[in-house]
Structure 1
Amino acid sequence: MAKVLMKGNEAIGEAAIRAGCLNYFAYPITPQSEVAEYLSKRMPEAGGMFLQGESEVAVGYMLFGASGAGERVFTTSSSPGVSLMSEAISYIACAQCPVVFVNIIRGGPGLGGILPSQGDYFQATKGGGHGDYHLLVMAPDSVQEAVEMVMKAFPLAEKYRNPVMILGDGLIGQMMEPVEFPEYLSSTPTNKDEWAANGMDTRKSDKPNLVKSLFLDPKALNDRNLLLKSKYDRMKIEEVCYEAYNTDGDYQALIVSYGTMSRVCRTAIDFLKAQGIEIGMIRPQTLFPFPEEAVSKASEKQSCKIVLSIEMSMGQMVEDVKLSVLGKRPVKWYGKCGGEVPNPEEIMDVIKEHI
């Protein structure tokens, strides 16, 4: 398949169509508005539904309703917009509806700025809304990987009947790179007749399906939370993804980094290697479930003196890194969160300070 040069936001929209999703509800917000702009034209061409809601709050419940009726649906937004959807996301998770969310992160908190950030790690991996729930969270480091993760997200959401979120910073959405859309990642919804409120006539059934998030009986609510927890435990077994870089031999320090920041770290590692300094890196591709075992094992290398969590935030992923390392090595954080992306020379200086 020939590659085509595309902006990240536009490639994300096309990936959803190629994956088999023909329903997109959204509200514009920088730096992801090009997804909506692209799909406002492209989605009708593909025979799908494009709908701009009056707010992100409205979009959240459009997603809930369409998904609850068995439709494959997704949205894209950026940090404050996802905050406004958080109540609906909690409802969607409890009701076990498969929805795909893409967050092209901008700086915060508050209105912050429109430049790239990774400051929504807590929001995505620790809930964001109310109650005990998790999203399956993936983090691409390139436009091509964003395409592939979007295409994989729909069957994963349907496998677990759970929301999936893809975290890309503003650079992923705005940069242009060559991409292709693997045909093998196209799919169709499965098993929706077993649970969706899509009409008894449609299912040729005399039993109604009920999609809900209200459980007034304490035992029923506890049982629902135990059911959800069992899905998250299964994700931790079946869905952990990561990339190990320069970890085959000995290394003096281990970096844990994801998304665009990991690309900068990779360049720094290569520059240091040319100077005779070996550094390893674990790049989480899933942030929930987090690759705890991979980080733990990599930190145990006898030559490894320190673990560095390098992020475009004030230190959010570092908490999961510390829980993975469990005191076996010192864990330090480095990052920026105003929209500046640390360059390879900065990362090299930070590493040299700690080894």
Structure 2
Amino acid sequence: MHELLRELRDRAERAADPDSWSYLSRGSGDQRTVGEAHDAWDRYRLRPRVLRDVEDVSTELDLFGHWPSPIGIAPTAFHALLEAGGEVTTATGAAAAGAPMVVSSRATRRLEDIAASLAGPWWFQAYLMRDRSVTAALIERAADAGATAVVLTADTPYVGHRARTAAQARPLPLSDEQALTNMRDHLPAEVDDIWELIDQRADLSLADIGWAARAGGLPVIVKGVLRADDALACVRAGASGIWVSNHGGRQLDRAVSTAAALPEIVAAVGDSVPVVVDGGVRDGYDALTALALGARAVMLGRPVLWALAAGGSEAVGEMLVELTAELRHAMGLAGAACLGDLDRSVVTTG
């Protein structure tokens, strides 16, 4: 793990409310998937090319928008648990670093305010809720606010089981007002159980990819894919991108690591759609490995929350800039002047 990330994690744990820290840190089941995430990237080794012109190394890419860096922010819920400004603070840090950001439908600040704090394109993450009209309204709102893609989370028909001690069973220090910031405008006037209404649906199908695309007129990236056959099925159903993710180990425990799943999914979809990955990436070398294995972008979840809790927007921006700088340096040493120079031959497990 990058030394800066280790420091941010330690500072965040000291600064955060203990219940909030537990909620954001823990995984499901015995937390095996969480524990294996970073080690899975560390098993790869690099095979650098020599005598390449790497005087100028570029990390720029075009992916439903133009980005200075392929290292961005994955969607995570309830940033206000860690810092009063919530996702607006996170977005300010992302803007300072020129990093991609994916805004969660469970954000604690209004989409429009988050979008106004970003300097470039952004994506919106959506769950298909039991009341489809709420999901459709949020996607349409995100499109109006400038989102360039929808990330449809597909791995949560049910919330993963997360074992808690008695001390961790207290309610989160988050009001319904905060938790429903972006949903309350779209809820029926009278409803007995709001949380049941906005819970994720368990009857998802491939047809919902097209439904989500029509809801906002935006390309849809399907998030939570860990199998090549699922990736191909999503592409055939109209997905414009595939996101390799195990939800940070918060859903199905013992699920395969994203580092292990990524190569077969890239091989299956080829150049038909871009592939994004998250899960356990903790430094520029992990990012280089993921990009060489075929990912177009690498997203961070918990490290962004560590930075947010430790030092607000400044720490978020510093972390993203530092990891991009480390990636750029590693690319140069590997003989890659641009992201297109990275391919499967650069990495090995031997």
Instruction: State the TM-score, normalized to the length of structure 1.
Output: 0.31
Larger radius of gyration: 1
Of Structure 1 and Structure 2, the greater strand share is in: 1
Higher relative contact order (CA 8 A, sep 6+): 2
| TM-score, normalised with respect to structure 2 | 0.31
